Chain A
Amino acid sequence: MSQSNRIAGGQIDRSQTFRFTFDGVPYQGHPGDTLASALLANGVRLMGRSFKYHRPRGPLSAGSEEPNALVHLRSGARQEPNTRATVAELFDGLTATSQNAWPSVKFDALAINDRFNSFFTAGFYYKTFMWPAAFWEKVYEPIIRRAAGLGSLTRQEDPDEYDKGFLHCDLLVIGAGPAGLSAALTAGRAGARVILADEDFRMGGRLNMETLTIGDAAGADWAAGVVAELASLPNVRLMPRTTIIGAFDHGIYGAVERVSDHLATPAAGKPRQTLWRIYSSRAILAAGAIERPIAFENNDRPGIMMAGSLRAYANRWGVAVGDRVAIFTNNEDGLRTATDLRAKGVDVIAVIDARTDGTLLPGIRHLKGAEVIDSSGRLALKTITIRKADGKTETVRATALGVTGGWNPNVNMTSHHRARPVWDEGLQSFIPGDGGPPGLIVAGAAAGHMSTHGALATGQAQAIAALELLGMKAKADTLPKAEDAPISITPKWYVTGGKGRSWIDPQNDVTVKDVKLAHKENFSSVEHLKRYTTLGMATDQGKTGNVIGLAVMAGLTGQTIPETGTTIYRPPYTPVAMGTLAGRSRGKDFKPFRLTPSHKWAEEQGAVFVEVGMWLRAQWFPRPGETHWRQSVDREVLATRKSVGICDVTTLGKIDIQGTDAGAFLDRVYANTFSTLAVGKCRYGLMLREDGMVFDDGTTARMGEAEYVMTTTTANAVTVFRHLEYCRQVLWPDMDVQLISTTEAWAQFSVAGPNARKLLEKIVDQDISDDAFPYMGAGEITIGGTRGRLFRISFSGELAYEIAVPTRYGDALIRRLMEAGQEFDAIVYGTEALGVMRVEKGHVAGNELNGQSTALNMGLGKMVSKKKDSIGMVLSQREGMVDPNGYRIVGVKPVDPKGQLTAGSHFLEIGAEPVMANDGGWLTSKSTRRIWAAISP
């Protein structure tokens, strides 16, 4: 059967045919189709199953508010669960499969749940499955979890790329229906920088789905004309296939552009989707309105859909959903569907009109004061039962039923800052209230102006108003003629009487009965109603059904709908792929790499690298024959102790501190004193946080009267710099101190071991004998004429230096050092050996500098000078922090060196019961021969 339900007309390109499959069955469609329109054109109404009762489901709508027609789009690693067929753009070769059904969507075993629906009422699970306690995890929950969810992920890595970007504009127009087009045109012609975004792949909104005329053109053609003019304006950016997902603070909007979703696969290098952050001075929400149903028994069968959608499928896509169509309406708009369908030759068997007033449609069976009370058809609609004004019921054959209970202005985004919409009695709908996102104004149906003229007029007016606030003048061109029909609606939320179930939230299977039960159990506040029944928590977030639930609850409590209140919409407007939100920050690109100056050389040596923050550092350098890291590390340690070892320590933070107050400044930020440090010398410094805990440590050298170079730990380089800026700008704003980071400017190597000096003497041009360059000396030197710096400091050995050159010479320097070191069997060592040696030398590092230790804990209490004010000095003296019984970080030698201890081990007396009361402290870090531990006395 090929497109049995395709009828004339529509905005599809019949000259081209797309082939696609659903559940393995091949079908045909055309460019311009959605998956839903193409399936309906092929007579397929059943597309999925509901969440709880596994009831058959077909499209309820023709848009992104769709709760029912959810499928797996594509297959393999690109399988996309819960994809709304109503917005999935058809492409040649598309494959889709139904979800939440086994073995098949036509016969679904779990439909058994539907038989037992009277047990599975709202919140039934809160009242049972409690005995015996252990059974929840073991028995009940596994069963529930197996049934959980709708679509599934394949667990394969998403092969597509995602991109991100930033856009800036004067005016963002959200939605390209008549109101949005009118607004964009007005602002565009005025020269404003405009972005017009619409989630659809064809701009025009409802104009593409109606037979309305604007001026003397068909609505769709008028829209196409406006889009063409906007495209010609350099100051206007058109963004079709782009959903504004959220209104965030200060005019920042999130937008998802579906760059490649209409293709089988993205072109090479191209993203599947792009997340745009749009910075707009003003924004106009022209998102239109969303039609809502009327609940009646068994109103959830495939073939029953919104009347406006039935019309849309006929007008835009040339599809007659059924051959015998009925309409159930409580408002004038429902009649349009009947008229349009009949004009297209579709057999409209009846219009069931809940209203008693108004004129009758000529030539159509138009039943006033009537309602649909039931339907039949296992997998799709077969008959509907009508209760006429006189109370008599009649069952008629129908393959499609269009239902409309009126239209809800699409206020979604106006509540993203948690403003609540307000009730409009005339519309019988919520419209935007105050307190919406600042700078966002609303136009057209989204604001409750439901006619085409109202849309055009308010779109233009709001654009003029928005630009005026930006100091721009836009002029009001005369508007083309368009329908301006008044609203005629009689409130009708659900059909009363009968014992069956009337669906409100068709995806989560929330029915009128569930709302009644919630009320009975006093879950009457809207928030309790939502949370207890799961109303509006499905993938459509209740865009169509929520208001009916509120109306039912209002009826039960005797309150009005506005008194009953409403839950609010939260971002995103429609669900967003995780990949899109992550962009390029995944895999190895999750965070950038920082490479040390000796990285290239280390790679050549076959070094094993380790992540240290964003840095990659050599952890150890395996030599041929070494099979275990311990062998390499032990060799590196022993060789360094015996002769000389070299290590790249560039990652340590370096901060250049200059100014006439530099010394006084250091006295304030360090617990110990630096103003007394002689030029050409360096000193170990201890830095506290204001709460008295140890913040950081390192050596700082005085290079000149007013010039210091501070060293920080690798981990704290950024936070220390931030802290110093805070001190100089905020705490002591008149101190003459200037700061700049030089971490990356210098390649720095530690040269440690008894032969360190001998080695350096070979390459340094100056005299660095003990007298010329004593312990803790610091100064400028040259290496073969290249400027460098030498510091005689050590964290890891007896005689040790740190030597630095401009980073570009770092690679050459390590090669020079290794070459010169050959006669001393110099080795290079990595972070692991560095750690071993610093522990054995008795220096604290990361594991001890954990932000929980005081200077006293570390045995450095005496370093905190009381003679001067310094950050953290006062609060470091609190009783709990000077407690002599507090733990101490001490070096420990195991009695039995063969005994293996891991860092993090706690100490217990031999034979003592393993409880906290007997805790003797823990091992903070370990070396191969000696450990560093926190001991409670």
Chain B
Amino acid sequence: MIINHPILGPRDSQEFVYLGDASLMTRPDGMTAGIEEFHDWLYNRDNPAGLHRELWYHEQGDRSWLVVTRNTVTHEITSVELARDVARKMGRSK
């Protein structure tokens, strides 16, 4: 597969390490959230057959974490964003 890196352009997916569903970005705050909330966040997945937002790490590249939107049936990739930008848009900060 080829991932169109927002900074570096098309790069072979072999250079990346896959983590999983981008929902992992919404980590609860450990000081306020309890086991139930953490459990649902860490373990349960939509696992869609179709569009899937997922996290890839450009380990053999610029070490950027990316949010890739990919169709799990056709493998077509429709968007690639820097995870840091997405995280900030989601209101994550420190």
Contact = CB atoms under 8 A, between A and B. Distances in A.
A and B touch in the complex (CB under 8 A): yes
A722 B17 contact: yes
B33 A874 contact: yes
A174 interface: no
Contacts of B8: none
Given A249-B2, A251-B2, A730 B55 contact: yes
A816 interface: no
Given A249-B75, A869-B31, A874-B33, A733 B84 contact: yes
A249 B72 CA distance: 12
B57 A731 contact: no
Contacts of B12: 252, 279
B9 to A, nearest CB: 12
Contact of B94 (A252, A279, A735, A878): A735
A691 interface: yes
Given A726-B19, A874-B30, A731 B87 contact: yes
Interface centre among A249, A250, A664, A730 (most CB of B within 10 A): A730
A661 B74 CA distance: 42
Contacts of B33: 874
Contacts of B87: 729-731, 733
Interface string A165-180: 0000000000000000
A875 B42 contact: yes
Contacts of A733: 84, 87-88, 92-93
Interface in B11-45: 12, 17, 19, 24-25, 27-31, 33-35, 38-39, 42
A729 B92 CA distance: 10
Contact of B42 (A417, A438, A691, A868): A691
A463 interface: no
A417 B74 CA distance: 8
Contacts of B34: 874
A731 B38 CA distance: 14
B42 A722 contact: no
Nearest to B83: A730
Contacts of A690: 27, 42
A92 interface: no
A315 B33 CA distance: 80
A96 interface: no
Contact of A878 (B17, B29, B35): B35
Interface centre among A438, A691, A729, A735 (most CB of B within 10 A): A729
A868 B55 CA distance: 26
A729 B64 contact: yes
Interface string A272-307: 000000010000000000000000000000000000
Contacts of B83: 729-730
B94 A722 contact: no
Nearest to B77: A250
Contact of A873 (B17, B30, B63, B77): B30
A732 B94 contact: yes
B6 to A, nearest CB: 13
A730 B42 CA distance: 15
Interface in B66-87: 74-77, 83-84, 87
A78 B93 CA distance: 62
A250 B84 contact: no
B2 A734 contact: no
A868 B30 CA distance: 8
Nearest to B41: A690
B27 to A, nearest CB: 6
A249 B42 contact: no
A726 B94 contact: no
A886 to B, nearest CB: 17
Contact of B39 (A661, A725, A731, A875): A875
Interface residues of B, number: 35
B7 interface: no
Contacts of B30: 869-870, 873-874
Contacts of A725: 57, 63, 65
Contacts of A734: 88, 92-94
Contact of B65 (A279, A438, A726, A878): A726
A82 B64 CA distance: 47
A730 B35 contact: no
A732 B93 contact: yes
Contact of A438 (B24, B76, B93): B76
Given A729-B64, A875-B39, A250 B1 contact: yes
B90 to A, nearest CB: 9
Contacts of A874: 28, 30, 33-35, 38
Contacts of B75: 249-250
Interface centre among A438, A731, A735 (most CB of B within 10 A): A731
Contact of B2 (A250, A417, A873): A250
Contacts of A250: 1-2, 75, 77
A144 to B, nearest CB: 40
Interface in A860-881: 868-870, 873-875, 877-878
Contacts of A691: 42
Contact of A729 (B2, B27, B35, B84): B84
A282 B2 CA distance: 14
A732 B94 CA distance: 5
A24 B87 CA distance: 72
Contact of A877 (B28, B35, B93): B35
A222 to B, nearest CB: 37
A870 B77 CA distance: 34
Interface string A644-680: 0000000000000000010010000000000000000
A731 B35 contact: no
A730 B1 contact: no
A730 B76 contact: no
A731 B64 contact: no
Contact of B35 (A248, A252, A722, A875): A875
Given A870-B30, A878-B35, A661 B94 contact: yes
Contacts of A868: 31
A525 B94 CA distance: 58
A722 B65 CA distance: 9
A438 B77 CA distance: 12
A417 B73 CA distance: 10
Contact of A732 (B24, B28, B92): B92
A638 B2 CA distance: 56
A836 to B, nearest CB: 35
A737 to B, nearest CB: 10
Contacts of A878: 35, 39
Contact of A731 (B17, B19, B31, B92): B92
A679 to B, nearest CB: 23
A873 B59 CA distance: 27
Given A873-B30, A874-B35, A722 B57 contact: yes
B50 to A, nearest CB: 15
A903 to B, nearest CB: 31
Nearest to B37: A874
A725 B63 CA distance: 8
Contacts of B35: 874-875, 877-878
Contacts of A252: 1-2, 12
A733 B89 CA distance: 10
Interface string A690-703: 11000000000000
A903 B31 CA distance: 40
A815 B65 CA distance: 43
A718 B87 CA distance: 23
B52 to A, nearest CB: 15
The 3 A-B residue pairs with the shortest CB-CB distance, nearest first, are A869-B30, A250-B2, A734-B93
Given A726-B19, A868-B31, 7 more contacts: A250-B1, A279-B2, A279-B12, A726-B55, A730-B92, A733-B84, A869-B31
30 contacts: A249-B1, A250-B1, A250-B75, A252-B2, A252-B12, A438-B76, A661-B94, A664-B94, A718-B59, A722-B17, A722-B57, A726-B57, A726-B65, A729-B84, A730-B55, A730-B65, A730-B84, A730-B87, A730-B92, A731-B27, A732-B92, A732-B93, A732-B94, A733-B88, A734-B94, A735-B94, A869-B29, A874-B30, A874-B35, A877-B35
